[in-house]
Amino acid sequence: MTVRKVRTRFAPSPTGYLHIGGVRTALFSWLYARHTGGDFILRVEDTDAQRSTEESTRQILDAMLWLGLDWDEGPFYQSKRLDLYREYIHKLVDQGKAYWCECSPEALEAMRSQALEKGDKPRYNRTCRHKGLGPGPGRVIRFATPGNGATSFDDQIKGRVTVSNEELDDFILLRSDDMPTYNVSVVIDDALMEMTHVIRGDDHVMNTPKQIQLYKALGSPLPVFGHVPMVLGKDRTRLSKRHGATSVTAYKDMGFLPEAVVNYLVRLSWSHGDQEIFSREELIEFFDIGDVGKSAAVFNPEKLLWLNHHYIKTGDTARLAALVPEFLELKGYPVPDREYLQKVVTDVRERTKTLEEIVDFGDFYFTEKEPPAELRRDFFKPDLALAFGTLVEKLRTVDPWEHAGLEEAVRGVLEETGLKFKILAQPMRVALTGKTVSPGIFEIMATLGRDRVLDRLSRAHACMRGS
RNA sequence: GGUCCCAUCGUCUAGUGGCCUAGGACACUGGCCUCUCACGCCGGAGACAGGGGUUCGACUCCCCUUGGGACUACCA
């Protein structure tokens, strides 16, 4: 017996950037395909000509690639397949499974509000169903939804879902502007593209019975459905801009690493025992759509930050260093060579959670600036002048300019002056970095290099002597 | 309103009838380490929404209540 190769897809509509919740669904779909050795197809649902833009499409594809969610086929564009949908829709009309309707939007609105007032369901009353109308201006084609019985399906995540056909409307297949609607184009495409598993957001559950009826009318085999729970904001409503950044691109721009975003998102409604950190390979090995939980998850930016910090702490420094220049340029700092950058990353990574923070926290590695007056006053005391003077002198001869030699030089100063390192350290830190919080003194000095260190220390020394 | 879905610490979750005086992670917090801050390590506080059943035994199964969410377009 041959098992059909799994085929899943992601079908975004390019009406905006790639949403963090939407991409979680894409991730699940992608993982399921990869896990089963199947194919992942990308399809752009741009049948809404008013709201779709090429810019959005480009951004979405970029974001997918950035996260490493590659596709085996596509991207297919629904806007290029319009005639195909129309063909199938008209065939449905010919078979009596769909019909022309002349009800105006106003009439429908009136119908709806009336029904609502009476406490009925706001549905189309099927007035045109048996009129035997043909095409005409302002007319639409509606699906003749079977009126009795119930439609149910076994969702891979939610289990069996049943909806009475009474609830299904005679929904529109072809709009009066000759454009097919979402419900038809997805079904036709999913059928034609031979999707075996339709993995999508929870918000589509109620569309599924309608679509199943369409599959039946079209005579196409049904795919398996899997509706993944929503990602919610802190107030437990659907995640939106109100809750902060929601676009994948925004996280990239804030200095998040793609593996952190992926690792964070995959743990929303899915888990593998107590494991928190997953490599891409582990994800592909462990992920199964059937293990996805049923309940919605709240997006927690702090945990994302923790994961990002984890990957910054443990990532390859050369790669990290290569990602920093983009952020340096943004802040207007000159871009030093790779080797220097790599040392900076090594120095700061324990204390910076994002690429952006590497640049902010490590600003003193990239630019010269005087410590704030307040810090000069507090730390550059006259009684330290002697120590700083000898320190500068000793540092002139340190060779090689490395941690061990630097520490030795400082220790020499301590012995000569009888000072505790604790007393010397903060003033040194302020002199070298302009702040009271930084990486270790010796790491900083080693990375900064003799010239910069001598220069900054000398200035502090001069300040102590009151000149 | 109707239909559908969901319900373990603040948050993400483990748990598939006895292993649970409920485990892990983020966040919070006490301590250790220490040149600052981090990192790391050790410790703490913190949850099975409520009520009925089923069962020798329920976080786990069933029902109700409550609470939350989704959908209810000539958007996708």
Burial tier of A58 (Cβ tally within 10 Å: 0-12, 13-18, 19+)? exposed
| Region A109-119 average pLDDT | 80
| Region A20-26 average pLDDT | 95
Enter the ipTM: 0.95
Measured between alpha carbons, how far is residue A227 from residues A131, A211, A290, A386, A411 in Å? 37, 14, 11, 71, 64
| Contact, A439 CB vs strand B, < 7 Å | yes
Place of tokens 């069996």: A160
Q: What is the DSSP letter of A3?
A: P
Q: Is A438 left (phi over 0), alpha (psi -120 to 50) or beta?
A: beta
| Rg for chain A, CA atoms, rounded | 32
- Indicate whether A458 pLDDT > 80: yes
C1' (B63) to CA (A73) span, angstroms: 48
Q: What is the DSSP letter of A295?
A: S
| Contact, A215 CB vs strand B, < 7 Å | no
Q: Which residues contact A241 (CB under 8 A, 6 or more apart)?
A: none
- Indicate whether A1 pLDDT > 60: no
| Contact, A301 CB vs strand B, < 7 Å | no
C1' (B68) to CA (A283) span, angstroms: 30
C1' (B70) to CA (A165) span, angstroms: 19
- Indicate whether A242 pLDDT > 70: yes
| Contact, A267 CB vs strand B, < 7 Å | yes
**pLDDT at residue A4, as a whole number:** 82
β-pairing verdict for A140-143 and A98-101: antiparallel
- Indicate whether A103 pLDDT > 80: yes
Q: Which residues contact A314 (CB under 8 A, 6 or more apart)?
A: none
- Indicate whether A186 pLDDT > 80: yes
**pLDDT at residue A2, as a whole number:** 58
Cβ neighbour number for residue A46 with a 10 Å cutoff: 20
As annotated, the active-site residues of A are: 241
| Region A225-229 average pLDDT | 97
Nucleotides on chain B that have an atom closer than 7 A to a protein CB are 1-8, 10-15, 23-27, 35-40, 68-76
Least confident of A38-47, A69-78, A128-137: A128-137
Q: Which residues contact A311 (CB under 8 A, 6 or more apart)?
A: A257, A259, A260, A263
C1' (B46) to CA (A352) span, angstroms: 28
User: Residues A100, A67: contact at Cβ < 8 Å?
Assistant: no
Nucleotide nearest to A304 (CA to C1'): B26
Token pair, residue A333, equals: 């700092």
**pLDDT at residue A212, as a whole number:** 96
**pLDDT at residue A467, as a whole number:** 64
Cβ neighbour number for residue A168 with a 10 Å cutoff: 20
Phi, psi angle pair for A310, to nearest 5°: -55, -45
Which residue gives the smallest C-alpha to C1' distance to B72?
Answer: A122
β-pairing verdict for A73-77 and A39-44: parallel
| Contact, A154 CB vs strand B, < 7 Å | no
**pLDDT at residue A40, as a whole number:** 98
* CA dist., res. A208 & res. A214, Å (int): 10
Nucleotide nearest to A313 (CA to C1'): B39
C1' (B26) to CA (A325) span, angstroms: 30
Nucleotide nearest to A231 (CA to C1'): B69
* CA dist., res. A201 & res. A228, Å (int): 5
β-pairing verdict for A172-174 and A39-44: unpaired
C1' (B42) to CA (A350) span, angstroms: 20
In the 61-80 segment of chain A, residues within 7 Å (Cβ) of strand B are: 78
Average pLDDT, chain A: 94
**pLDDT at residue A49, as a whole number:** 81
* CA dist., res. A240 & res. A247, Å (int): 10
